[in-house]
Amino acid sequence: MKQYLELLEDVLENGAVKEDRTGTGTLSVFGRQYRVDLAKGFPLLTTKKVHFKSIVNELLWFISGSTNINDLDARIWNEWALEDGSLGPVYGKQWTAWETKDGSTINQIDYVVDLLKNNPTSRRILFHGWNVEYLPDESLSPHENVRQGKMALPPCHLLYQFQVINNKLNLMCTIRSNDLFLGHPFNTAQAAMWVYMLAQQCDLEVGELIMSIGDAHIYSNHIEQVKMQLERTPTALPQLKINRKPDSIYDYKLEDFELVGYDPQPAIKAQVAI
Residues noted as catalytic:
156
Question: Is residue 124 marked as binding?
Answer: yes
Of 125, 67, 124, nearest to 91 (Cα)?
67
Question: Is residue 218 marked as binding?
Answer: yes
Question: Is residue 37 marked as binding?
Answer: no
Question: Is residue 244 marked as binding?
Answer: no
Question: Is residue 178 marked as binding?
Answer: yes
Q: How many CB atoms lie within 10 A of CB 252?
A: 21
Question: Is residue 179 marked as binding?
Answer: yes
Contacts of 173 (CB under 8 A, 6+ apart): 157, 159, 160, 187, 188, 191, 209, 210, 211, 212
For 62-204, list the strands marked E by DSSP: 98-99, 105-106, 126-128, 157-165, 168-179
DSSP class of residue 67 equals -
Question: Is residue 119 marked as binding?
Answer: no
Displacement of CA 230 from its chain's centroid (Å): 22
Question: Is residue 39 marked as binding?
Answer: no
- Please report, in range form, the residues annotated as the binding site: 21, 51, 123-124, 176-179, 187, 217-219, 273
- Please report, in range form, the residues annotated as the binding site for dUMP: 21, 123-124, 176-179, 187, 217-219
